A = this chain, B = another copy of it.
Amino acid sequence: MGQGLRPDRLALPQPYLLFLGDTVEAGFAKTAFGLRDWAPELCVGEFSLPGAKVSAGLPQLRPADAADRGARSLVIGVANSGGFIAETWVPALVEALEAGLDIVSGMHAKLNCIPELRYGAERLGRRLIDIRKPPENIPIATGLKRPGKRLLTVGTDCALGKKYTALSIARAFAARAVDADFRATGQTGIMISGGGIPMDAVVSDFAAGAAEMLSPDAAPNHWDVIEGQGSILHPAYAGVSLALLHGSQPDVFVVCHDPGRQRLLGDEEFVVPSVEEIVELTIALGRRTNPAIRCGGVSLNTSALDDVAAAELCAAETKRLGLPAADPIRGGPAFDALIDECLRS
């Protein structure tokens, strides 16, 4: 994506060695896969423990070898359901510190709560970087319009492509020589881009202020492409989504949707809202801080479909909704049309 680190962003020590622990399920390696897919130039290799059954397909390196190849930190590339750092991982993490690497983690558990890591980092002069810790100086949001253009991905549910869509759009903007930055709001996005704010960890009174901080004043033609979180109609996370919407003040939003999903992921009692409902509510709420807010299109996650079925679905949804519908991962003319619509002035 080519964005440089800016003083308002967290500077992460890159490139990374991806730590996969002793993970046996691919679903728990989302962070490693996200880094491999979106920032391969930042990944010098992977490091896993005996028993691991998951690979990101990168060279297997011990920390010392990775440091020789330029790695500056080990990234914990796996998650588990409690968000904890397993005891079996600790010797490997200490080995990384001894090899001269900092450690970057997006887990709920904090690295310096593990004595071996805290003492090791102190002794060796290394940094323990917890991505899920928001900055301490977040102001209350002002709601005042900031210069620069902004695009936010929103969703009909969690975990259906808001990050991948934002990354794809930022890349497509860059390919058209549009000055753009991807703005991360979750742990994987932060590791990919080297900066951002973990919205889910911000105290609620300050959540809109955090979103304002994330995309500060910019040049009039500069675009911030902001990773969305949750859904305005998600029973648990809608507050996060609304704070992000108000603080981001998007000129354009793109609705991310999985056409095969009928019920909310992990909340089977709830139907997935329609794209139209999300468009209508996002405009009704978003115009409070940006009266010019508009929908730039629909991002469909067609990973379960073959090429023909995916193309047919995008064409049918484009016609039905009167908005460009495309799968950014497939690209092609449908996605070009979505980018055209986002950039239309």
Contact = CB atoms under 8 A, between A and B. Distances in A.
Interface of A: 140-144, 199-205, 207-209, 232-233, 235-244, 246, 267, 269-270, 281, 284-285, 288-289
Contacts of A284: 281, 284
Contact of A208 (B207, B235, B243): B235
- 10 pairs of A and B residues whose beta carbons are closest in the complex: A143-B235, A239-B243, A141-B236, A200-B205, A239-B239, A204-B204, A204-B207, A239-B242, A204-B240, A242-B242
A232 B281 CA distance: 12
Nearest to A287: B233
A208 B238 contact: yes
21 contacts: A140-B236, A141-B236, A142-B235, A142-B267, A143-B267, A201-B203, A204-B207, A204-B240, A204-B243, A205-B236, A205-B237, A207-B239, A208-B238, A208-B239, A235-B246, A235-B289, A236-B246, A238-B246, A239-B239, A239-B244, A240-B243
B242 A238 contact: yes
A143 B246 contact: no
Q: Which of A144, A207, A241, A246 has the most CB of B within 10 A?
A: A207
A288 to B, nearest CB: 5
Contacts of A205: 200-201, 236-237, 240
Contact of A143 (B142, B243, B244, B269): B269
A285 B245 CA distance: 15
A87 to B, nearest CB: 23
Copies in the complex: 2
A235 B288 CA distance: 7
A185 to B, nearest CB: 11
B209 A204 contact: no
A233 B238 CA distance: 14
Contacts of A144: 269
Contact of A239 (B143, B201, B204, B269): B204
Given A202-B204, A284-B284, 5 more contacts: A143-B236, A144-B269, A199-B204, A208-B237, A209-B236
A289 B270 CA distance: 9
A344 B252 CA distance: 43
Contacts of A270: 143, 288
A143 B235 CA distance: 5
Contacts of A207: 204, 239-240
B200 A233 contact: no
Nearest to A249: B235
A207 B289 CA distance: 22
A204 B270 CA distance: 21
Nearest to A141: B236
A202 B199 CA distance: 13
A333 to B, nearest CB: 35
A267 B209 CA distance: 14
B281 A285 contact: yes
B288 A233 contact: yes
B240 A239 contact: yes
Max chain B Cβ within 10 angstroms of own Cβ: one of A200, A201, A203, A205? A205
Nearest to A269: B144
A189 to B, nearest CB: 16
